[in-house]
A and B are shown apart, each in its own frame.
Chain A
Amino acid sequence: MNAPNRFELFVLEDTEKHVEVTEDTKIPNAATFKILKQDHTLGNMIRAQVLAMPQVLFAGYKVPHPLHPYFLLKIQTDGTMTPQAVLEQACTKLIATISSLEAKFKREFSFKMTEGTVPEDPYGTTGAGAQGWGTGKDYLDF
């Protein structure tokens, strides 16, 4: 009855922002980013990319509670760059990686298309698998 809409787990509310930045008051050159409506998919990827940058002293992320759809990302730098700049650069690099991957996938797929490796009969594999199913030997009933 009063259950929240399930899409609230991944759609930003009108009043929400993608990211909130809190600068750390006790640690120099550190900030915590609260990224809303995102999860490990984005968090872990960014964390790894941020850690690969030489200016970064610390980077970590956590999803404080599995029912709360946000994660916290903490970054501390050596002072040559702000954590915001670091995060932004990491994201930019990741997008570049993905777009190069995209081009490569496109090329690979087009090669496979021209080679004609896709069988003509649709779902030939699933059809073959289904034939194996009624035999009763797929698993042993002890």
Chain B
Amino acid sequence: MQTYEDSEPIVRIRDYKQDRVNFMLENVDLAFANSFRRVVQADIPTIAVDMVEVEANTTVLPDEFIAHRIGMVPLVSTNCDEGMRYTRDCICLSGCRYCSIELRLDVSCNDNRTMEVTSNHLEVIPPFSSDEGSPGDELTKRGDDFGQPVGKNKADVPPVLICKIRKGQELKLRCVAKKGIAKEHAKWSPCSAVAFEYDPYNKLRHTTYWHEADPRTEWPIGENAKEEEAPRDDEVFDFNAKPRKFYFEVETDGSLGPQEVIMKGLAELQTKLANLILGLKSETDMPPTGGDTGLAGVNGHVPTAWVPPSSSGTWGQNAASGAGYASPAGGGGWSSGGGGSGGWSTSPAQNTGGSTSAWTTSPTQNSGGASGAWGTSPAQTWGGSSSPNAGSGSGWGTSAQQGWGSPTQQASGWNL
């Protein structure tokens, strides 16, 4: 019935610019394509100003108005998976150099003209060293302009206007930028817009066009219609047809590049699914003792629990023995047999603090390994990192250790 089941998904990038990518996705489900769109919009971490302390504001705009505007300013967040922690996961009291970035704005107008306060006036305060927060290598994973407003002091990028001030007015404030995802607040979304279209001729009749006399003369045919065959006049409606081709245009606000957005979106989807599988495993494969053994045994249980059933034939052989999802160095833990698309190797580099997080890092692709499997594609470092951490990290990860401990209902009573 589902013929696409056997066929591989197809991707074709039609246009790739600094801040946007336009591509076609074929041979996937509508639900899958939509999930991809949702994850790209709402689940990728970036950095944005989350707290503003106003020291002086004699402008015409109230404090909260300005604070809101500053929160919306996109900040360069390349590789913030590794370059920054969530404040909720950090042990510091209210923010440290590992989980927050401080920016300051100090502007006053002294001449007789209207002056524009823009995102170019936001200055990143270099992190001072203190012993607050548990030490980590986050700072080394950051690029030079990490946390800077996007396009700062670039002539061809117009800055974001925050306020206009006249002579004698002043704006002085301190901002703290934090990592977050757009599910919490849309300012953390790396995308300014994601266009998503399928079936440009409306052959499937998923929509109805309002019209005076004839919708075909009154509605223009979109660009994407060039990719598909126009319906013939004598064509009967195929009520079994399913959308197969999806047209995306992912436009970023500059905080992350389009490639990083796409790759992290896919990785985030995998993390979600993998966590679900892990949850199912822990539900059914609990040791009979249950109860208290849980936390201590996290790392011990994972590998055995995680090996997927060979009947599904998807994972080839799982060579990982020690580290659960993250295979030992060298990757090659999993080869995805489904599709012969070559292996994707997981790198254990991210498995920091194994005891706290069996899962922190989920599928982490080592771009070197993956490209090796592929041969044709030169290893790419997107976002300046060689191994983007696919897992959104500790958010989901740390919680994976829960659920091992408590006794659960065994699968039973199935009438097979």
B314 engages A125 (CB within 8 Å): no
Shortest beta-carbon distance from A67 to chain B in Å: 13
In the complex, whether A123 has a CB less than 8 A from a CB of chain B is: yes
Chain B interface size, as a band, is: 35 or more
B13 engages A112 (CB within 8 Å): yes
B18 engages A124 (CB within 8 Å): yes
In the complex, whether A126 has a CB less than 8 A from a CB of chain B is: yes
Q: Is the interface of A mostly helix, strand, loop or mixed?
A: helix
A38 to B312, CA, bound (A): 25
- Residues from chain B with Cβ under 8 Å of A12 in the complex: 396, 399, 402
B residues apposed to A, CB below 8 Å: 1-2, 5, 8-13, 15-20, 23, 25, 28-32, 34-35, 38-39, 42-43, 86, 88, 151, 154, 156-158, 180-181, 183-185, 254, 259, 262-263, 266-267, 269-270, 272-284, 308-309, 311-312, 314-315, 336-339, 341-342, 344, 363, 365, 367, 370-371, 373-374, 376-378, 380, 382, 395-396, 399-400, 402-403, 406, 409, 411, 413-416
Chain A interface residue count, Cβ-Cβ cutoff 8 angstroms: 75
- Residues from chain A with Cβ under 8 Å of B259 in the complex: 105, 109
Shortest beta-carbon distance from A126 to chain B in Å: 6
Kindly identify, within residues 1 to 43 of chain A, every residue whose CB is under 8 Å from any CB belonging to chain B. Answer: 5-7, 9-21, 23, 28-29, 35, 38, 40-42
Known: A16-B399, A17-B402, A124-B156. A45 touches B18 (CB 8 A): no
With A11-B399, A18-B279 known, 8 other A-B pairs at CB within 8 A are: A7-B180, A16-B399, A18-B399, A41-B39, A42-B272, A96-B336, A103-B370, A126-B19
| Pairs of residues from A and B, 8 with the lowest C-beta to C-beta distance, nearest first | A18-B279, A12-B399, A17-B403, A48-B31, A96-B338, A100-B341, A19-B279, A45-B35
A84 to B414, CA, bound (A): 11
A127 to B159, CA, bound (A): 10
B158 engages A130 (CB within 8 Å): yes
A-B contact pairs, 22 of them (CB 8 A): A6-B185, A10-B183, A15-B402, A17-B402, A18-B403, A28-B415, A41-B42, A42-B272, A45-B34, A49-B31, A82-B416, A93-B338, A101-B25, A103-B373, A103-B374, A106-B263, A107-B376, A108-B13, A109-B380, A114-B378, A118-B17, A126-B151
